Structure 1
Amino acid sequence: MPKQTFFNLPEEKQQHLLAVARQAFSKAPFDKVSIASIIAAAEIPRGSFYQYFEDKADLYDYLIEDVRHTSLEDWQSELKAQKGDLFKAFKQYFGQLLEEIVSGPNADFYRNVFLHLDYARSHQLTEHFSRKHDFDCAHKVRPKMLNGVDLSLLRIETDEDYIVLLHLLLGAFYQSITIFYTIQQTDAQSALKLTRTRFYKIVDWLQFGVQGKEGNETKCGN
């Protein structure tokens, strides 16, 4: 998280520094970008950088956090539009977000983020939508992404169930992005279409199940 001195800057200067940093991380993965290149492009003294951020990772993580905050607000709007239907909202919103990530104006930034994830940032991306509220009087927590969900449409009993379902859905989404980059290497023209189709199929499986009517009897291991 940036230091208070960063937030004391005029909004224009904040956005300029973030834009310069986002461009740098769009051109190269995290470990290939130097602080020297960022401060040179932003035209600020090296000392000023450390007045704003602890280090390069602090800046990088804030760029991801900035995207997370905006996306969460958009998600809440979509969920409201779908009258609390979690799966309808997820298909609609994340289908559009998938296209934005792989072909939108920040596609190069996202590509470097997803193709060079370490554990800490993988966890941070999962927290993209599953950040929790403060503990309530019952000492239970609920991910913000599930605020406004019509629970009568789901077979959900506990907060732990919410989190498990959420991680399954987000896992399908993040996996789809990674698979897009794999498909793109051999079939760039059809990569997005194939990835989107695969993504919707996985979400449908999570919503309606995979086993057909003829699959009630186990044929192996009787």
Structure 2
Amino acid sequence: MKGPDDLLRGTPPRRARSFGASRLLGDRFGRLSPELATTILAVGAVPLSVFTQVPAWGIFLGWSAASLFPTRAPATQTLRVLILCLTFGGVCGAVMLLLQDLAFSLAAPGTPPWLCSVAILIPLNPLMLFVARSPAFASVPGIFIGFSTAAALGSGAEHFGWGDAASVAVAGILSNCIGVGISRLFTVLTVREGMLEVPVPRRDKSVEIKVDLR
């Protein structure tokens, strides 16, 4: 009767994956590795935010919104929908701050500011979700990331006017759109000939899924 050692002795060794420096730098087709491309783009986003006078975290939030969009959609459609959603969300965030300031000025003395925020969000949140049903605004994360960016930029202000709302909306939308552009650049640097390499957990192989980059 064969023991465990006898059974293992005839088993061919499994090929190990290579995680050396060459794999991290890229491949023979000229693609950068995701680790290297992400590092370069993330580091470059910091001075870019200083140059454009927008928050770096807003750029990263826009990048995140792009990564949550279905990758099978054509790139032109993806960019159009994301920009519309981020713009709509940024405008909604600025409008919420305006209405919150107005509600607080009309509220009874001693009313907590968060109660005014809740009163504005109750109708505004369903409105954003209703608009997201339209194919032109098909990215719910994009809408709420744009909304959150603008709302975070304007939070803490004692008085919020129309000029403040316009500044917050423009800064939030611009930072998010820069993040979408960086996400597109990441795809160009890491994807070869319209193909996206996706690892398969079995047998240490990979398959290729077509992605339309037009």
TM-score (norm 1): 0.30
Structure with a larger share of its residues in helix = 1
Computing the radius of gyration from Cα coordinates, the structure with the larger value is 2
TM-score (norm 2): 0.31
Task: Say which structure, 1 or 2, has more relative contact order (CA 8 Å, 6+ apart).
Answer: 2
